[in-house]
Structure 1
Amino acid sequence: MDGEDFAGKAAAEAKGLNPGLIVLLVVGGPLLVFLIANYVLYVYAQKNLPPRKKKPVSKKKLKREKLKQGVPVPGE
């Protein structure tokens, strides 16, 4: 085995990019950016947006819940 021959092959292989690496970069790069951006927006929203208002519970639902618990509903 000649040392120069081995060095020549290594240099030739280093010139071309591995197709698997290209696919990984093309798919993984935007995916990573997307996930990081989502996390940043989530943290920003948690700090700056006001808490969500709870929906008002209807009287009908309140009555049903109290009946389930066995509490007598006033007015009946």
Structure 2
Amino acid sequence: MDYDGDADFDRVPPSFDRVKTAARNVETQGFNPGLIVLLVVGGLIMLFLVGNYALYVYAQKTLPPKKKKPISKKKMKKERLKQGVSAPGE
């Protein structure tokens, strides 16, 4: 049994040899499709969030403040009695 340790490492099976040559010959062919999808979806989400914020700020500036519900006379009388102020007409 002749065993030459370094000689075995020089011989590479043909299947691995093809992988090495294919890896060396790879050229950049543009963006990865997954990256394009990620950028488009991320851009749409950012556009949605920024648009909602802009609409919120615009609405805060232009819409009139909410009107409060009118308090009934009965509740008003109770509140005045709690505070110790006599209700008018009593």
TM range (shorter): 0.5 to 0.7
Equivalent position SS for 1:55: coil
TM-score normalised to the size of structure 2?
0.49
Structure 2, unmatched stretches of 5+, are 1-19
Equivalent position SS for 1:38: helix
State the match for 2:7 in structure 1.
none
1:57 to 42, 49, 71: 71
Equivalent-residue separation in structure 1 for 2:53 and 2:31 (angstroms): 37
Structure 1, unmatched stretches of 5+, are none
RMSD: 3.3
Could you say which structure has the higher helix fraction? 1
State the match for 2:37 in structure 1.
22
Deviations 1:16-37 (A, max 9, x none): 3336x635642x3333222211
Larger radius of gyration between Structure 1 and Structure 2 = 2
- Which protein has greater RCO, CA pairs closer than 8 Å, 6+ apart? 1
Q: Which amino acid aligns with 1:17?
A: P
Moved over 4 A (4+): none
Identity of aligned residues (%): 51
